[in-house]
């Protein structure tokens, strides 16, 4: 049986809307949903438990939000961002957290290899992009992270709430001064932007994960909820709650 998912793409949407829509889909989504998106303006997102005072990059960022998902800070610029929201009982997410990353990252790796990047799961070898003193997600790695050329190129994190999962991920097309020394598309065999890479990623998600992705847009109720929920993501109270 085909696994039918909604596919929502929003290019150049605001940090508040991006976070608000992901939360709306986590709370209210009645069908598994894959979102692909980019950010305008570019923004720094803090991990749920990060202390704002320990992320000096906030001072240089165009905008800042705090994600619902864990992990380190990410500068959302020059990247294809994805989110998945679905029941925790879905076969992709059922059971321990680790294998769920391996499944999703497996599809991403195939798409990256198609454009000539030697992507793989990091495994036990540390990366040259690792930097214990940094607060940035891409400067820390685990065995299940996606890396190529000795550096981390995909960052992802999950939130599990009331039997549902929100999985955030960032696939780096290029680096920025806030997030240097990471794996990017620089040495790919084809030139790609976040948007031009999206169809390749979707094809491998269809094939590798067995998903039937049905293009969709957020319903009016989802948009309204996204706007309501999203408004708080960039407030000082929200960002500096830790």
Partner 1 sequence: MRPDDRRYATTHEWAKIDGDSVIIGITDFAIDELCNGNEGDLVYCDLPEVGRMVEIGETFGEIESVKAVSDLQAPITGEVVEVNPVIEDHLQVLAEDTWGKGWMVRIRSKAPNLDHMLDAAAYEEHVAAAH
Q: Kindly list the residues in this chain that would bind partner 1 in the complex (CB under 8 A).
A: 48-49, 68-71, 89, 94-99, 101, 142, 144, 156-163
As measured in angstroms, the least distance from the Cβ of 169 to partner 1 is 12
Instruction: For residues 36 and 34, give the distance between their C-alpha atoms in angstroms, rounded to a whole number.
Output: 7
Can you read off the two tokens belonging to residue 164?
């549902």
For partner 1, the closer of residues 49 and 59 by Cβ is 49
Please pick, among 137, 146, 201, 229, the residue that the annotation labels catalytic.
137
Instruction: For residues 30 and 52, give the distance between their C-alpha atoms in angstroms, rounded to a whole number.
Output: 33
As measured in angstroms, the least distance from the Cβ of 156 to partner 1 is 8
For partner 1, the closer of residues 69 and 170 by Cβ is 69
Q: Is the peptide bond before 226 cis (omega within 30 degrees of 0)?
A: no
As measured in angstroms, the least distance from the Cβ of 133 to partner 1 is 17
For partner 1, the closer of residues 29 and 71 by Cβ is 71
Pairing outcome for strands 79-87 and 164-172: antiparallel
Please indicate whether residue 86 is annotated as part of the active site.
no
Instruction: For residues 128 and 130, give the distance between their C-alpha atoms in angstroms, rounded to a whole number.
Output: 5
For partner 1, the closer of residues 142 and 193 by Cβ is 142
Q: Do 28 and 225 contact (CB within 8 A), yes or no?
A: yes
As measured in angstroms, the least distance from the Cβ of 94 to partner 1 is 6
For partner 1, the closer of residues 116 and 143 by Cβ is 143
As measured in angstroms, the least distance from the Cβ of 96 to partner 1 is 5
Q: Which residues are catalytic?
A: 137
């Amino acid at each position: 049986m085909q696994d039918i998912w909604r596919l929502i793409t929003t290019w150049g949407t605001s940090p508040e809307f991006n976070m608000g829509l992901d939360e709306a889909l986590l709370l209210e989504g009645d069908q598994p949903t894959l979102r692909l998106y980019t950010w305008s303006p570019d923004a720094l997102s803090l991990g749920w438990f990060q202390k704002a005072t320990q992320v000096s990059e906030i001072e240089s960022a165009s905008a800042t939000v705090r994600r619902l998902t864990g992990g380190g800070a990410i500068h959302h610029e020059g990247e294809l961002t994805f989110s998945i929201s679905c029941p925790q009982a879905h076969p992709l997410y059922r059971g321990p957290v680790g294998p769920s990353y391996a499944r999703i990252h497996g599809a991403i790796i195939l798409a990256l290899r198609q454009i000539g990047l030697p992507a793989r799961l990091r495994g036990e070898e540390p990366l040259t992009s690792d930097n214990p003193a940094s607060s940035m997600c891409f400067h820390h790695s685990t065995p299940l992270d996606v890396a190529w050329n000795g550096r981390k190129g995909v960052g992802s994190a999950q939130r599990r709430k009331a039997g549902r999962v929100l999985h955030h991920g960032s696939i780096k097309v290029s680096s920025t001064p806030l997030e240097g020394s990471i794996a990017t598309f620089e040495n790919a065999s084809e030139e790609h932007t976040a948007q031009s890479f999206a169809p390749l990623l979707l094809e491998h998600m269809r094939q590798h994960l067995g998903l039937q992705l049905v293009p969709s847009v957020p319903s009016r109720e989802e948009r309204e909820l996204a706007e309501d929920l999203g408004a708080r993501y960039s407030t000082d109270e929200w960002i500096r709650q830790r």
